[in-house]
Amino acid sequence: MKNLNGAFVYTHGGAINGYVSDIFYFPKLDVTVLFAINTWKNPQNFRDELLNLVFSEISEN
């Protein structure tokens, strides 16, 4: 549990055998974002871009 972009979120991530994943559930927004990629590289930049896109879509509506 943490605060991300001013929103409360439940999050969990993991990695195994070349796969990395994260899931973010924003209960007040009723939004879940799942991120999965097949690389050992740190996917933080890509994951952050994905979350920024989701937040921009939510804020526009």
pLDDT digits (tens, 9 = 90+) for 11-60: 999 988 889 899 999 999 899 999 899 987 778 888 889 889 888 887 77
Number of structural domains the chain divides into: 1
Stated pTM of the model = 0.79
pLDDT at 17: 86
Query: Helix/strand/coil (H, E, C) string of 10-23?
Result: EEEEEEECCEEEEE
pLDDT at 61: 62
pLDDT at 22: 92
pLDDT at 5: 76
**Contact (CB, 8 A) for 22 and 13:** yes
Q: Where in the sequence is the domain holding 40, given as residue range(s)?
A: 2-60
Which ranges of 1-61 would DSSP assign to H, the alpha helix? 44-60
d(CA 28, CA 60): 17
Tokens 């990629």 locate to 37
